[in-house]
């Protein structure tokens, strides 16, 4: 009989967007509108600086008409930016939650139709962590960080465009002085993030599996007085899961982590 395939202990971090595209496609219109509104929000935020400069020039030149126009535009821009920020946040959260719900339903359907030998081969807590915990982490990213990421990238792009219109020398300074360190830090993070986040997810899955097994075998553990040893094991795995990434230097022994 063929050996039953196992899930990877650490999820593959490469090509995530490509693999997620089939799940994003049904929600592409809502996500596109949310991203467009987010770009408008960032553009309005970047436009504040030129308008402040226009108001300053009008004040220094004694041009009340230009000063009044700049102040009126700033007030209108502030209102527009607040409205776009709120609408973009709601649209992005709604679209992200739709994607997460699709992923969660797909995970439940896959588990419901999976072969019995596949389910028996894996620790129950491991599958539970993969099907619920990691999807919940994705939902938290969508709610809390995705909008900030889009806003930061758009603001950077619009700021460079404004600098190019004002002074190519300032743009050159930005590109030469700030862009290389930014790319270096991003590359360093990208290189180590896969193992760090994958190791954290694997350690949390081990904790969930041990906890589930403890509930199942609690009477046998109490009868055989094996609960203290099992509790020590659970505590060891929990400390490994919540510890800093550099402290996760344990190794796997069978299906448990050893310090």
pLDDT of residue 249: 42
9 φ, ψ (degrees, to nearest 5): -65, -35
Distance of alpha carbon 193 from alpha carbon 69, whole angstroms: 48
Residue 254 — very low, low, confident or very high, per pLDDT cuts 50/70/90? very low
Q: Are 37 and 30 contacting, i.e. CB atoms less than 8 angstroms apart?
A: no
Distance of alpha carbon 179 from alpha carbon 39, whole angstroms: 21
Nearest to 37 by CA among 139, 154, 160, 142: 154
Name the more confident of 36 and 96.
36
> How much is the average pLDDT of 170-185?
85
**Residues 6+ positions from 104 with CB-CB distance below 8 Å:** 131, 132, 135
Residue 13 — very low, low, confident or very high, per pLDDT cuts 50/70/90? low
Helix, strand, or coil here: 119?
A: helix
Global pTM reads 0.61
Residue 256 — very low, low, confident or very high, per pLDDT cuts 50/70/90? very low
DSSP 207-225: HHHHHHHHHHTHHHHHHHT
- Reply yes or no on whether the pLDDT at 56 is more than 60: yes
pLDDT of residue 244: 62
- Reply yes or no on whether the pLDDT at 100 is more than 60: yes
pLDDT of residue 49: 84
């Amino acid at each position: 009989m063929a050996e039953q395939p196992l899930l990877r202990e650490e999820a593959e971090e490469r090509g995530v967007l490509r693999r997620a595209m089939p799940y994003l496609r049904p929600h592409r219109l809502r996500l596109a509108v949310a991203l467009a509104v987010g770009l408008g929000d960032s553009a309005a935020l970047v436009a504040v600086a030129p308008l402040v400069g226009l108001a300053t020039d009008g004040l220094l030149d004694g041009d009340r008409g230009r000063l009044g126009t700049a102040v009126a535009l700033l007030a209108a821009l502030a209102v527009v930016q607040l409205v776009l920020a709120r609408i973009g946040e709601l649209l992005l959260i709604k679209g992200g939650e739709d994607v997460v719900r699709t992923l969660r339903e797909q995970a439940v359907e896959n588990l419901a139709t999976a072969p019995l030998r596949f389910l028996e081969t894996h620790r129950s807590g491991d599958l539970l962590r993969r099907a619920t915990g990691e999807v919940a982490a994705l939902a938290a990213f969508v709610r809390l960080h995705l909008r900030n990421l889009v806003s930061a990238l758009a603001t950077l792009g619009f700021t460079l465009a404004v600098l190019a219109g004002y002074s190519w020398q300032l743009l050159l300074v930005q590109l030469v002085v700030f862009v290389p360190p930014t790319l270096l830090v991003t590359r360093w993070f990208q290189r180590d993030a896969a193992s760090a986040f994958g190791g954290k997810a694997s350690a949390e899955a081990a904790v969930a599996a041990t906890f589930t097994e403890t509930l199942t075998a609690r009477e046998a553990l109490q009868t055989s007085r094996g609960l203290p040893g099992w509790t020590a094991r659970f505590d060891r795995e929990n400390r490994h899961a919540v510890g800093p990434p550099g402290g996760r230097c344990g190794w796997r022994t069978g299906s448990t982590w050893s310090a």
